């Protein structure tokens, strides 16, 4: 079966500095895949490369078998890959409802339409309401996103990411900065919302990673040093040395 | 899942009361447009209403860029002016060739003129947003304004191109000679254009424009190309600005290079921003106010443009939401019933603030008269009190008003802030303020 | 022809250096604070008028020092009491504030000094021909202007390489996001940079005033060209601003000096054609299109290289 995401020999240089070298990664369809690694290992850069935010210097990235490296972010998004951001990245002056609705519009085929009343599109309305219900923000629908609490903004961030119905979801540290209770709620949310889809997640919280992921890849200094099931990763001496060793004590 | 099924329809359905209020507002606006000239029927007010109508369309078109899409343009008058020239040329052609095109359709041609240039230049211009877009719009504005003086056959050089609106085929027996008929023509287009621009904000494109304004980077990750969104917004803004320019050509029966110059671009920016960009009615307020001031102040003072600049700077610094923003700020307080808590502090602050304003006006006028070499223009009439610009007593009065007004004013402004805090926190407790 | 080339090159370099005096300040302010100062050309105009007024009162040489300092003080006040308070509303608000200022300054200047040109003369000590090329006398004052602007250019280079502020400015030019980490006196650095930038613009005004026309519309005339320069060179790039300043200075000066048109090159159009866009273009002289040239260059660079000559930044 074609993998959902396949990264082959990707390298990214900024000037003379190579941030990512010879990155190889394969995520099967329907898999929940976590990328872990110490700070500065290139996790966010990997996300940015796959989602088209930056272009690889060399190598190739495929989504469901099609080459996507070199495409613009919106082209990649239209092919069914959606990502969230580590720093909350919502539409601050628009209400929660409008935030989610904007993320629904392209997928429902209304595109740049300027001849239809956006309030009278039943399908858009239904999907927006569903997503709001899913992320527990229905009661805040008329609040400008900029005025939400931090945890609510993180939930909205996830809502915007999944709203378009992409089959590959990439979440960049979705629980960063959350309290323990909020994290638990967010993990349950992620688990439920990505049911039947492919999930790639970057996360620092090891309990989240080991609780959620089917497979884990460990990124150290721009290179994947190990890839496998949570048990394999736990038992891998190289990983212990490079990563878990420092964190676990 | 069942809960979403039941809740989705009532979340989504617009309450019928709201719809009624919405259509009511438009109906009232339409009636006001029809009745206004019957109440104020002097030639002067008809001229003013006509100018205000044109300014309203122009400012609303500008807000498609600034308020809706977050694009700050310093060259929006280009589309207004090209619309005006397109209209004038077509009017002359219609008159010369006897084409069966009546005058009321001419503004549409102006719109097409404005749109055509937007289609042509917009793609390159909207490649980048923010500061770079602002600079480029300024450069394009200068390019068109300077070119208009070279291409004399199209733009008529310094004097412009004149036309005669009554030479077009008459419709319903209207010649459009009298100003009242022109007023109704403008009022009709104000209503149609405002409706259309309002409707535009309610479409998928309109909402994505807002998203591009708030966060263009994120828009790329929900499937949209922000460049395309900006380009489309630019084209719509150019189209409606062209309609305003076409109406101006009909109204003045001339189009000249001043139509597309920097001053015109600056005025529409002033009107839109002073009115407030965050609400649809903001630019309408701004257009009314700025046009009215422009007409009113020119008779009173020689330095009226300076007052414009000062008002604009004050709005940018202290009320970036404009007049509409200031008004709408109070809506949650009204709903929560706490408006009465802030009103007294406003009244108290009004006096020193007014004194400060009078001091500033007095000193500006003093300088203006003092440096103007004419001997007779030395008496400043402020609030009915004559002040002699050359008398030291006037200078002292101005200084006292400014310094005293500022010192006392600062205390009362703080009291406003305190009263606001109290009223706001109650409104927040009652759930009317997020 | 050779005479024209020599004179125009000199004038072009001179105009270019003047542009650079302005665009360098604008570029540094933009890189550090993210603000494109719309009122920058207004500071240049203030410099010219302060220079004129002070020359009348205390003579040209003291004015040459004092006027830029005054303009610098005005700039610092604008930063401290205007921009700093507007910063929280974002860059568009800051840009609008400087736009309003530019408008207000023009009105104040024309209120005080009137709308017609003032009689700002070259000081008598410099009022002689420096040398003669073929039959044209080249005025000493222009050589003086060139010397001053080159001296400032060198001084700026040294300040940038050797002083602490210079290092901070350099860091800001290459890593604009880093400025926030400068620590608690970032406000003072901003104020200083804004003041120095304004003072440089003021100095350009003082020395350009006698050679060009000192009038209340001089800011509105030069401002747009200045923005073309920095967009053309690439926003935030000092070398880019330098190259673009010289290039646009030379292009405009040569264009003004050339009187040719398509009609003079290929003969007049057939008289049966009558007035049309074609005949307008056919008969216009290069000197007449000189004011349009910078903007044509702007459009061209946007199509070919949207980041500008040496620009690296997207926004």
Residue-wise pLDDT tens digits, A188-213 = 999 999 999 999 999 988 889 998 99
Q: Which sign does the torsion angle of CA A121, A124, A130, A133 carry?
A: negative
Q: Which among B206, B225, B236 has CB closest to A74?
A: B225
Q: Which residue has the higher pLDDT, B200 or C179?
A: B200
Whether the CB of B135 is below 8 Å from some CB of chain C: the reply is yes
Q: Which chain A residues contact residue B199 at CB under 8 A?
A: 117
Q: What is the mean pLDDT of residues B291-306?
A: 85
Could you tell me where the beta strands, DSSP code E, fall in chain C?
A: 129-133, 136-139
> Containing domain of residue C182, as a range?
2-219
What is the structure's pLDDT at C288?
82
Q: Which residue has the higher pLDDT, B197 or C2?
A: B197
- CA dist B166 and B175 (Å) reads 5
Q: Which among B14, B228, B434 has CB closest to A119?
A: B14
- CA dist B370 and B36 (Å) reads 41
What is the structure's pLDDT at B4?
35
The answer to whether A217 touches A25, Cβ cutoff 8 Å, is: yes
Say whether A148 sits in a helix, a strand or coil. Answer: coil
- Does A93 score more than 60 pLDDT? yes
Predicted confidence pLDDT, tens digits, chain C (315 residues): 788 888 889 899 999 999 999 999 898 888 888 888 999 999 999 999 999 999 999 999 999 999 999 999 999 999 999 998 888 888 888 999 999 999 999 999 988 888 889 888 888 888 888 787 777 788 888 889 999 988 988 888 888 888 887 888 777 777 766 666 666 577 888 898 899 999 999 999 999 998 888 999 999 989 999 999 998 998 888 889 999 999 999 999 998 888 777 777 777 777 666 667 777 888 788 888 888 899 989 888 888 887 888 876 544
Closest CA to A157 of A77, A106, A84, A98: A84
- CA dist B329 and B317 (Å) reads 17
Q: Which chain B residues contact residue C276 at CB under 8 A?
A: 153
Q: What is the mean pLDDT of residues B331-344?
A: 87
Characterize B365-400 residue by residue with b for buried, 16 or more Cβ atoms within 10 angstroms of its Cβ, and e for exposed: bbbbbeebeeeeebebeeeeeebebeeeebbebbee
Backbone angles phi, psi at C155, to 5 degrees: -60, -40
Contact A73 B220 (CB under 8 A): yes
B372: closest CA of chain C, how far (Å): 8
Closest CA to C148 of C31, C58, C220, C47: C47
What is the structure's pLDDT at C41?
95
Q: Which chain C residues contact residue B134 at CB under 8 A?
A: 36, 95
Q: Which chain C residues contact residue B306 at CB under 8 A?
A: 104, 107-108, 111
Q: Which among C104, C314, C315 has CB closest to B313?
A: C104
Structure tokens at B227: 């460049």
Backbone angles phi, psi at A17, to 5 degrees: -90, 125
The answer to whether A214 touches A228, Cβ cutoff 8 Å, is: no
What is the structure's pLDDT at A188?
92
Q: Per-residue pLDDT tens for B109-146?
A: 999 999 999 999 999 999 888 888 998 899 999 999 98
Number of domains in chain C: 1
What is the structure's pLDDT at B3?
37
Q: Which among A85, A102, A114 has CB closest to B200?
A: A114
Q: Which chains touch C (3 or more CB pairs under 8 A)?
A: B
Task: Provide the β-strand partners of residue A95.
Answer: A144
Q: Which chain B residues contact residue A114 at CB under 8 A?
A: 200, 203-206, 232, 236
Q: Which residues contact C241 (CB under 8 A, 6 or more apart)?
A: C20, C23, C24, C26, C27, C229, C230, C233
- CA dist B283 and B201 (Å) reads 14
B169: closest CA of chain A, how far (Å): 32
Highest average pLDDT, of B180-194, B335-349, C17-31, C75-89, comes from B180-194
The answer to whether B283 touches B201, Cβ cutoff 8 Å, is: no
The answer to whether A136 touches A158, Cβ cutoff 8 Å, is: no
- Does A237 score more than 70 pLDDT? yes
Characterize B21-56 residue by residue with b for buried, 16 or more Cβ atoms within 10 angstroms of its Cβ, and e for exposed: eeeeeeeebeeebeebbeeeeeeeebebbbbbbbbb
Say whether C92 sits in a helix, a strand or coil. Answer: helix
- CA dist B309 and B307 (Å) reads 5
Q: Is residue C44 domain-resident? A: yes
Residue whose structure tokens are 């022109």? B182
Q: Which chains touch B (3 or more CB pairs under 8 A)?
A: A, C
Banded pLDDT at A156 (limits 50, 70, 90): very high
Banded pLDDT at B423 (limits 50, 70, 90): confident
Closest CA to B62 of B257, B287, B218: B287
- Count Cβ atoms below 10 Å from residue A80 Cβ, excluding itself: 19
What is the structure's pLDDT at B152?
86
- Does B51 score more than 80 pLDDT? yes
Give the HSE-up count for residue C246: Cα atoms under 13 Å, Cβ half-sphere.
12
Q: What is the mean pLDDT of residues A98-113?
A: 94
What is the structure's pLDDT at C278?
78
Q: Which residues contact C17 (CB under 8 A, 6 or more apart)?
A: C145, C146, C149, C150, C153, C245, C246, C249
Banded pLDDT at B11 (limits 50, 70, 90): very low
Among all residues of chain C, which has the CA nearest to that of B315? C97
What is the structure's pLDDT at A245?
53
- Does B294 score more than 80 pLDDT? yes
Whether the CB of B278 is below 8 Å from some CB of chain C: the reply is no
What is the structure's pLDDT at B398?
87
Q: Which residues contact B161 (CB under 8 A, 6 or more apart)?
A: B85, B88, B89, B92, B155, B254, B255, B256
Q: Which helix (H) or strand (E) holds B433?
A: none
Of B8-12, B150-154, B215-219, C218-222, least confident by mean pLDDT is B8-12
Whether the CB of B147 is below 8 Å from some CB of chain C: the reply is yes
Q: Which residues contact B72 (CB under 8 A, 6 or more apart)?
A: B65, B66, B130, B133, B134, B137, B269, C92, C95, C96
The answer to whether B29 touches B191, Cβ cutoff 8 Å, is: yes
Q: Is residue C224 domain-resident? A: no
Alpha helices in C175-305 (DSSP H): 186-211, 218-233, 238-257, 262-266, 277-283, 286-289, 293-304
Share of residues in chain B with pLDDT > 70 (%): 94
- CA dist C217 and C226 (Å) reads 15
Banded pLDDT at A135 (limits 50, 70, 90): very high
The answer to whether B91 touches B281, Cβ cutoff 8 Å, is: no
Q: Per-residue pLDDT tens for A25-35?
A: 999 999 999 99
- Count Cβ atoms below 10 Å from residue A176 Cβ, excluding itself: 16
- Does A48 score more than 80 pLDDT? yes
B274: closest CA of chain C, how far (Å): 11
The answer to whether A82 touches A128, Cβ cutoff 8 Å, is: no
Distances (CA, A) of A28 to A189, A196, A206, A230, B1: 22, 12, 22, 16, 28
The answer to whether C251 touches C298, Cβ cutoff 8 Å, is: no
A72: closest CA of chain B, how far (Å): 8
A185: closest CA of chain B, how far (Å): 18
Backbone angles phi, psi at C154, to 5 degrees: -65, -45
Q: Is residue C193 domain-resident? A: yes
- Does A220 score more than 70 pLDDT? yes
Contact C101 B316 (CB under 8 A): no
Contact B228 A112 (CB under 8 A): yes
Q: Which among B129, B131, B150 has CB closest to C292?
A: B150
Banded pLDDT at B388 (limits 50, 70, 90): confident
Distances (CA, A) of A177 to A136, A151, B25: 19, 8, 46
- Count Cβ atoms below 10 Å from residue B364 Cβ, excluding itself: 20
- CA dist A150 and A70 (Å) reads 34
- Count Cβ atoms below 10 Å from residue B340 Cβ, excluding itself: 10
Contact C111 B125 (CB under 8 A): no
- CA dist B248 and B268 (Å) reads 14
Whether the CB of B258 is below 8 Å from some CB of chain C: the reply is no
Q: What is the mean pLDDT of residues B160-164?
A: 93
Q: Where are the domains of chain B?
A: 28-321, 331-429
Q: Per-residue pLDDT tens for B72-123?
A: 999 999 999 999 999 999 999 999 998 999 999 999 999 999 999 999 999 9
Q: What is the mean pLDDT of chain A?
A: 91
Contact B128 C314 (CB under 8 A): yes
Contacts 24+ apart (CB under 8 A), A123-128: A125/B8, A125/B12, A126/B8, A126/B12, A127/A163, A127/A165, A128/A97, A128/A100, A128/A101, A128/A104, A128/A163
Q: Domain B28-321's class?
A: mainly alpha
Q: Which chain C residues contact residue B136 at CB under 8 A?
A: 231, 298, 302
């Amino acid at each position: 079966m074609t993998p959902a995401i396949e990264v082959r020999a990707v390298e990214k240089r900024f000037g003379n500095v190579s941030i990512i070298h010879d990155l190889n990664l394969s995520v099967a369809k329907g898999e929940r895949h976590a990328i872990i690694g110490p700070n500065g290992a290139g996790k966010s850069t990997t996300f940015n490369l796959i989602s088209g935010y930056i272009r690889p210097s060399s190598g190739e990235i495929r989504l469901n078998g099609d080459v996507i490296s070199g495409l613009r972010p919106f082209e990649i998004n239209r092919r069914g890959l959606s990502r969230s951001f580590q720093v909350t990245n919502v539409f601050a002056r628009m209400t929660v409802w409008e935030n989610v609705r904007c993320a629904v519009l392209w997928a429902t085929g209304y595109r740049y339409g300027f001849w239809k009343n956006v309030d009278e599109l039943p399908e858009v309305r239904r999907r927006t309401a569903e997503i709001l219900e899913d992320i527990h923000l229905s009661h805040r629908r008329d609040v400008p996103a900029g005025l939400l609490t931090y945890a609510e903004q993180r939930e909205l961030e996830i809502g915007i990411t999944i709203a378009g119905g992409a089959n590959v979801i990439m979440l960049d540290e979705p629980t960063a900065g959350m309290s323990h209770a909020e994290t638990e709620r967010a993990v349950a949310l992620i688990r439920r919302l990505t049911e039947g889809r492919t999930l790639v997640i970057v996360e620092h919280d090891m309990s989240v990673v080991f609780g959620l992921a089917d497979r884990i890849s460990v990124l150290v200094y721009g290179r994947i040093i190990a890839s496998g099931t949570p048990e394999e990763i736990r038992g891998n001496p190289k990983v212990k040395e490079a990563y878990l060793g420092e964190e676990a004590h | 899942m069942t809960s979403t099924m039941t809740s989705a329809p009532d979340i989504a359905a617009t309450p019928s009361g709201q719809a009624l209020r919405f259509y009511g507002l438009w109906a009232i606006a339409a009636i006001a447009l029809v009745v206004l000239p019957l109440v104020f029927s002097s030639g002067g007010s008809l001229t003013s209403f006509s100018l205000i109508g044109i300014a309203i369309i122009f400012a609303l078109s500008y807000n498609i860029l600034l308020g809706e899409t977050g694009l700050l343009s310093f060259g929006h008058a280009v589309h207004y002016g090209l619309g005006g020239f397109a209209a004038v040329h077509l009017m002359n052609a219609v008159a010369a060739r006897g084409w069966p095109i009546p005058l009321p359709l001419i503004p549409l041609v102006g719109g097409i003129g404005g749109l055509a240039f937007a289609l042509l230049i917009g793609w390159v211009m909207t490649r980048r947003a923010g500061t770079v877009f602002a600079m480029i719009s300024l450069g394009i504005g200068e390019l068109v304004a300077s070119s208009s003086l070279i291409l004399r056959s199209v733009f008529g050089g310094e004097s412009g191109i004149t036309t005669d609106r009554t030479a077009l085929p008459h419709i319903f027996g209207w010649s459009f000679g009298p100003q009242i008929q022109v007023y109704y023509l403008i009022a009709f287009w104000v209503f149609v254009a405002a409706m259309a621009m309002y409707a535009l904000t309610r479409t998928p494109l309109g909402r994505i424009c807002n998203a591009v304004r708030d966060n263009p980077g994120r828009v790329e990750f929900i499937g949209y190309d922000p460049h395309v969104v900006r380009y489309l917004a630019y084209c719509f803004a150019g189209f409606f600005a062209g309609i305003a320019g076409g109406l101006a050509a009909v109204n003045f029966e001339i189009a000249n290079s001043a139509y597309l110059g920097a001053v015109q671009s600056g005025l529409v920016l002033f009107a839109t921003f002073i009115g407030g960009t965050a609400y649809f009615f903001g630019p309408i307020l701004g257009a009314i106010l700025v046009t009215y001031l422009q007409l009113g102040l020119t008779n009173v003072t020689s330095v009226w443009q300076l007052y414009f600049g000062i008002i604009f700077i004050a709005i940018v610094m202290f009320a970036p939401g404009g007049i509409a923003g200031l008004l709408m700020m109070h809506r949650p307080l009204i709903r929560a019933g706490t408006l009465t808590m802030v009103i007294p502090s406003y009244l108290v602050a009004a006096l020193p603030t007014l004194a400060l304003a009078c001091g500033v006006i007095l000193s500006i006028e003093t300088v203006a008269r003092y440096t103007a070499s004419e001997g007779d223009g030395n008496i400043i009439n402020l609030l009915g009190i004559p002040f002699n610009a050359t008398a030291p007593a006037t200078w002292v009065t101005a200084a006292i008003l400014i310094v005293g007004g500022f010192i006392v004013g600062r205390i009362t402004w703080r009291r406003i802030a305190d009263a606001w805090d109290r009223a706001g926190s109650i409104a927040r407790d009652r759930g009317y303020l997020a | 022809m050779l005479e024209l080339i020599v004179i125009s090159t000199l004038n072009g370099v001179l105009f270019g250096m003047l542009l650079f005096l302005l665009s360098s300040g604008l570029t540094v302010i933009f890189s550090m604070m993210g603000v494109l100062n719309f009122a920058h050309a207004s500071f240049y105009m203030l410099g010219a008028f302060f220079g004129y007024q002070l020359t009348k009162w205390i003579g040209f040489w003291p004015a040459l020092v004092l006027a830029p300092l005054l303009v610098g003080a005005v700039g610092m006040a604008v930063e401290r009491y205007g921009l700093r308070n507007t910063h929280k509303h974002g860059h568009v608000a800051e840009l609008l504030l400087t736009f309003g200022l530019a408008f207000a300054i023009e009105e104040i200047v024309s209120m005080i000094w009137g709308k017609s040109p003032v009689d700002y003369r070259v000081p008598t000590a410099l009022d002689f021909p420096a040398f003669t090329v073929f039959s044209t006398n080249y005025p000493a004052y222009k050589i003086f202007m060139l010397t001053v602007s080159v001296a400032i250019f060198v001084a700026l280079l040294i300040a940038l390489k050797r002083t602490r502020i210079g290092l901070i400015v350099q860091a800001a030019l290459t890593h604009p996001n880093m400025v926030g980490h400068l620590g608690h006196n970032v406000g003072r650095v901003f104020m200083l940079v804004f003041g120095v930038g304004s003072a440089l613009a003021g100095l350009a005004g003082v020395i350009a005033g006698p050679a060009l026309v000192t009038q209340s519309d001089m800011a509105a005339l030069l401002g747009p060209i200045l923005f073309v320069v920095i967009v053309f060179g690439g926003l935030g790039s000092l070398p880019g601003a330098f190259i673009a300043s010289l290039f646009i200075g030379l292009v405009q000066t040569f264009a003004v000096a050339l009187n040719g048109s398509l009609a003079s090159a290929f003969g007049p159009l057939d008289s049966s054609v009558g007035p049309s866009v074609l005949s307008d273009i056919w008969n216009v002289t290069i000197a007449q299109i000189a004011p349009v040239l910078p903007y044509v260059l702007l459009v061209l660079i946007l199509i070919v290289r949207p980041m500008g000559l040496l620009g690296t930044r997207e926004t």
